[in-house]
Amino acid sequence: MNTEDKNTDKKRRAMMRRIRKKLNLTQTKLAALAGVSDRFVARMERGKSVSFITQDRITGALVRVTAQRNPEAVRQAVQPALETAEKWERVPSLEPGTEPVLKLEELNGKTLAELKAQAEKIAPFLRSVANMALLLTK
């Protein structure tokens, strides 16, 4: 892992700790909600190695608690993802050589064909993630 990745990981872990504290969750309570040992929560927050599955469980527990306590915040948070998904969903209908397409190709450094292939993956992914987050609010 390079220095930039380490700094990003450190910031992410610090953010998760701040969220846990803001939600008034102890490491023990978060661990119980995540289905992991409280040692794993402590290790993760200290920047020690934990498996991706453990990180995912802890993150998922934080998201679920946040969604249950503040569903409106989640709805607001997913709006940019839904708006971006809508934009990507329009890409396949674009006509080659038109002014908007030429600008889009220049901006992204990719051909329209590459952007269409990317759109087929990104739009459903964004919509799926947003919908999962919205389901957590119910």
Chain segment 89-102, per-residue pLDDT in tens = 999 999 999 999 99
Q: Which of 24, 22, 33, 56 is nearest to 44 (CA)?
A: 56
Q: Which is it for the CA torsion 108, 109, 113, 117, positive or negative? A: negative
Give the whole-angstrom CA distance, residue 136 versus residue 78.
12
Chain segment 2-36, per-residue pLDDT in tens = 776 677 778 888 888 999 999 999 999 999 999 99
Neighbours of 37 (CB within 10 A): 14
N- to C-terminal Cα distance for the chain?
38
**DSSP symbol at 97:** T
